[in-house]
Amino acid sequence: MTYPIVLSSIQVEPILAAKQKGLSSVEVSPDLGISRVNAVITSTGVSFASGEHLDWQQIEKIKQAQTNCFSVEDGTIKTISLFSEHTNRVCSLLPTRHAPSMLIAGFTMHRIVNTDPMQDTLKKVATIAPITGRVLDTATGLGYTAIEAAKTAEQVVTIELDPGAQYIARLNPWSRGLFDNPKITQVMGDAFEVVQTFEDESFTHILHDPPVLSLAGELYGGVFYSQLLRVLKRGGRLFHYIGDLNSKSSGTVARGVVRRLQEAGFTRIVRRPEAFGVVAYK
Ligand SMILES: C[S@@+](CC[C@H](N)C(=O)[O-])C[C@H]1O[C@@H](n2cnc3c(N)ncnc32)[C@H](O)[C@@H]1O
């Protein structure tokens, strides 16, 4: 399987540095930092072994766009971003010095301040480790929690509302496991409705990583929590991402979440500030 080259301003830094030093080749990552290849520097631009050639104007455009990633195909560069007709929200891939995040309507879908989306993912998943059995991931996003859970789980069912978000994930080199790991089943739809269709006690673990409350209020409500409890096996655990529990706004949201989880019937709820969320037990 060959994938298109995906670059951000971070990957073109060494290309421009090599040009300035007058070098004839440079090591560059064609997939946002996952792997490295050698590319040839010419007077007109940079050539990859795959046959792609980018001119200096294109490289400069990528360098200037600090908040976008670009796919390279047939000599053209395309911003990884789109307006989702389904949700009327703009989705885009946001570069970081590690795995990228996704922006939806201007909100980042992972923590990126003093951390990176992969550390964020590992912290979330660690709160309910060891992850075994059948796992429900309520909000796919870039698929990082699903991919991480699938390393030890038997099966992961992951739900995404927005085809726009799925489009972005498809172009993200760090999301490939979402599309090629047979343990992961993707369901397109509203988690609020999709979860109602699952059988009682059919999941051992639930990862609930919704967008901010203002984008997905129903996913923070008692009706939804009752459904999560219903589909969770006895002894099962739910991780619910909320936000920085020590901040005023997320602290307030967290108090409401804990109360509604208790009202829904979860037996014990434990604050996990390091993962910006809580774990609820059935
Ligand atoms: C914070 S991100 C999830 C990040 C994900 N855990 C990851 O590892 O990349 C939230 C995702 O939920 C999706 N979403 C929003 N409302 C939803 C809903 N009602 N049902 C399912 N997914 C929803 C958004 O489109 C977004 O992709």
Q: Tell me the pLDDT tens digit for each residue of 19-54.
A: 999 999 999 999 999 999 999 999 999 999 999 999
Among residues 155, 178, 182, the alpha carbon closest in space to that of 168 is found at: 178
Q: Report the pLDDT value the prediction gives residue 51, as an integer from 0 to 100.
A: 93
pTM reported for the whole predicted model: 0.97
pLDDT tens for each residue of 94-134: 999 999 999 999 999 999 999 999 999 999 999 999 999 99
Cα gap 117→17, rounded to integer Å = 27
Report residue 2's pLDDT band, with 50, 70 and 90 as the boundaries: confident
Q: Omega before 14 cis (within 30°)?
A: no
Percent pLDDT > 70 in the chain is: 100
pLDDT over 90 (residue 166): yes
Cα gap 24→40, rounded to integer Å = 6
Does the C-beta of 165 come closer than 6 Å to ligand 1?
yes
Amino acid at 106: G
Q: Which atom of ligand 1 is nearest to the CA of 110?
A: 1
pLDDT tens for each residue of 203-241: 999 999 999 999 999 999 999 999 999 999 999 999 999
Q: How many CB atoms lie within 10 A of CB 276?
A: 22
180: its two tokens:
């090629």
DSSP classification of residue 175: G
Distance 140 CA to ligand 1 centre (A): 5
User: Within a 13 Å sphere around the CA of 17, how many CA atoms are in the beta-carbon half?
Assistant: 9
Distance 146 CA to ligand 1 centre (A): 11
